[in-house]
Amino acid sequence: ELSQRMSERAVDVIKFLMKEGQMMKPGDLIDADLAELIAGEFGHTVKRVSESDVEEGIFNVADEEGDLESRPPIVTIMGHVDHGKTSLLDAIRHANVVAGEAGGITQHIGAYQVEQNGNKITFIDTPGHAAFTAMRARGAQATDIAILVVAADDSVMPQTIESINHAKAAGVPIIVAINKIDKPAANAQKVRTELLQHEVFVESMGGETLDVEVSAKNGTNLDKLLEAILLQAEILDLKANPNRTAEGVVVEAQLDRGRGAVATVLVQTGTLKPGQIIVAGDQWGRVRALVNDKGDHVKEAGPSMPVEVLGLSGTPAAGDKFAVVENESRAREISEYRQRLAREKQVARQSGSRGSLEQMMNQLQNSGLKEFPLLIKGDVQGSIEAIAGALEKLGTDEVRVRIVHSGAGAITESDISLAEASNAAIIGFNVRANAQARSLAERQGIEIRYYNIIYDLVDDVKAAMSGLLSPER
Ligand code: GDP
């Protein structure tokens, strides 16, 4: 990438690096100091900017108070399993569609919008706190209001409490939907009382939390629930500026056979339009089309509106932020920056002891050994054989791979002991180490490398082996 930007041949850069005693191949990561040295050598002037400057002016661009207009609330439904989250989402949506278009066909795109007395409400279609918190873990707060569903015949259960804690941790206000009120065993008062113990104080108990008795099955009081949401939204005074370039969050994304990468996004501020270029997570693309929750193509999507975006290069993750950027090269730059960050994070995660493969090479070199001992575990025998074959081919007169053990299945403690005894590194292909093995490896300083692409594996071993070659070659 650096050679490309300097309009130099990669091979020249690699030659220069070799002269400097650095064995590298295209795609290897170099640090800022080395990049500066290389750029200087090739006659370029280097200006250092902070890495995060790449994204400056793109994400989290503040709005002027005067430009703000009120926007619909975004709602997530949480609660214990079988208390009726899905039923409630379906009932609300169904009631709305029937009232709206005659026989309207609905698409499940991950979020939908309904209208109550001319006011819009957006529902995230994945119930539960797991998705909610996964999105938060990626830095996105997509939800304004949490609906806590509690079945009136079952009352407060473990996941009810979890949901309360997740909502509270996020600072998101709760509205309690006491569901299954149609059941003979329903006891709404018990629900209210039990919620007190978890510091959810509904109005009739002297608190400020709104609660509504509903039946998702019979459609009872759904409009009351929607009214409560609108009331809560009014208190929250939710606002955004529709007249600017859009920013928002990815709700879900998948590869569609016919349509390519499809991401459902929620616009949080601004207005998104076809033809614009967006960055979403580490993906980017020109918006080919916007499709709403009714399956219609739309010309724009304003604040709190969920739409499917077609035209991305790949699938971003749920909770990734997206933003409109001014041109393709900027988009490419940001997505490359983000992909690199993600790669670095992954590498750091996968090998707690970074660089120890290299260290091991140095040790071997010093001891004069010309063998590279490896222990290989894989998911199936076929791939292990393919890997062993490919690695054996790497051997030269000077240095070769020695496979001390190979087998199918997870990496176990006995593998670690064996690797330790034979001074081998461990390679896991589509398998992981179990917990005991991981901690033993950590204690013993045994390196485990994980791969899921044979090419990457072979390439890394090749690079490591080149460090074993005699310097005079
Ligand atoms: P979730 O796990 O929270 O998404 O719960 P579901 O929506 O799948 O509902 C669990 C079960 O409760 C299903 O069998 C529903 O038909 C039933 N159910 C949901 N809402 C009601 C309700 O208001 N009244 C009654 N009687 N049953 C309900």
The amino acid at 83: H
pLDDT at 138: 66
* CA pair distance 45, 429, nearest whole angstrom: 43
* CA pair distance 457, 393, nearest whole angstrom: 13
Eight-state DSSP code of residue 101: S
What six digits make up the tokens of 278? 């967006």
- What separation in angstroms does the CA of 182 have from each of 88, 95, 151, 153, 218? 14, 18, 10, 10, 8
The amino acid at 62: A
Q: Is the CB–ligand 1 distance for residue 83 below 6 Å?
A: yes
* CA pair distance 141, 319, nearest whole angstrom: 8
User: Is the pTM of the predicted complex or chain greater than 0.80?
Assistant: no
How long, in residues, is the chain? 473
Q: Is the CB–ligand 1 distance for residue 129 below 6 Å?
A: no
* CA pair distance 432, 438, nearest whole angstrom: 9
280, 267 in Cβ contact below 8 A? no
pLDDT at 155: 96
Secondary structure in 3-state letters for 368-384 = CCCEEEEEEEECCHHHH
**118 class by beta-carbon count within 10 Å (0-12 exposed, 13-18 middle, 19+ buried):** exposed
Q: What is the ipTM of this complex?
A: 0.99
Please report the atom of ligand 1 found closest to the CA of residue 214: 23
Smallest CA-to-CA distance from 152 within 211, 224, 76 is with 211
Residue given tokens 């901690």 in the structure block: 439
Alpha helices in 45-174 (DSSP H): 85-99, 129-137, 158-170
What pLDDT tens digit does each residue of the chain (473 aa) get? Answer: 888 888 889 889 999 988 888 888 887 878 777 888 899 889 888 876 666 677 777 787 888 888 999 999 999 999 999 999 999 999 999 887 644 454 555 678 999 999 999 999 999 988 877 677 667 766 678 899 999 999 999 999 988 987 887 788 778 999 999 999 999 999 999 999 999 998 899 999 999 999 999 999 999 999 999 999 999 999 999 999 999 999 999 999 999 888 999 999 999 999 999 999 999 988 999 999 999 998 999 999 999 999 999 999 999 988 889 999 999 988 998 888 888 877 776 565 445 443 456 655 665 665 566 778 888 999 888 888 889 888 888 877 777 888 878 888 889 887 887 777 677 889 999 999 988 888 888 877 778 889 988 888 888 888 877 765 544 33
pLDDT at 465: 77
377, 427 in Cβ contact below 8 A? yes
Q: Which residues contact 92 (CB under 8 A, 6 or more apart)?
A: 114, 123, 222, 225, 226
79 three-state secondary structure: strand
Q: Whose CA is nearest to atom 24 of ligand 1?
A: 180
Give the sheet arrangement for strand 448-451, strand by strand: 400-408, 371-378, 425-429, 448-451
* CA pair distance 104, 218, nearest whole angstrom: 20
Centroid of ligand 1 to alpha carbon of 458 (angstroms): 52
**CA atoms within a 13 Å half-sphere pointing along the CA-CB vector of 470:** 6
* CA pair distance 399, 395, nearest whole angstrom: 6
* CA pair distance 295, 453, nearest whole angstrom: 37
Sign of the torsion formed by the C-alpha atoms of 335, 340, 343 and 349: negative
* CA dihedral angle for residue 353, residue 355, residue 361, residue 367, rounded to 10 degrees: -60
* CA pair distance 291, 360, nearest whole angstrom: 54
**What is the Cα 392 distance to its own chain's centre?**
37
Q: Whose CA is nearest to atom 14 of ligand 1?
A: 82
Centroid of ligand 1 to alpha carbon of 84 (angstroms): 4
pLDDT at 229: 98
Please report the atom of ligand 1 found closest to the CA of residue 79: 3
pLDDT at 62: 82
pLDDT at 278: 96
pLDDT at 57: 77
Q: Which residues contact 409 (CB under 8 A, 6 or more apart)?
A: 377, 431
- What separation in angstroms does the CA of 287 have from each of 247, 270, 304, 345? 14, 15, 18, 29
Q: Is the CB–ligand 1 distance for residue 321 below 6 Å?
A: no
304, 236 in Cβ contact below 8 A? no
Among 77, 82, 163, 191, name the best residue to mutate to test ligand 1's pocket (greatest count of ligand atoms within 8 A of Cβ): 82
CA angle 415, 419, 421 (to 5 degrees): 115
Give the sheet arrangement for strand 145-151, strand by strand: 111-116, 119-124, 74-79, 145-151, 174-179, 210-213
pLDDT at 129: 72
143, 124 in Cβ contact below 8 A? yes
**313 class by beta-carbon count within 10 Å (0-12 exposed, 13-18 middle, 19+ buried):** middle
Q: Whose CA is nearest to atom 18 of ligand 1?
A: 84
Centroid of ligand 1 to alpha carbon of 251 (angstroms): 24
* CA pair distance 193, 265, nearest whole angstrom: 38
Q: Is the CB–ligand 1 distance for residue 221 below 6 Å?
A: no
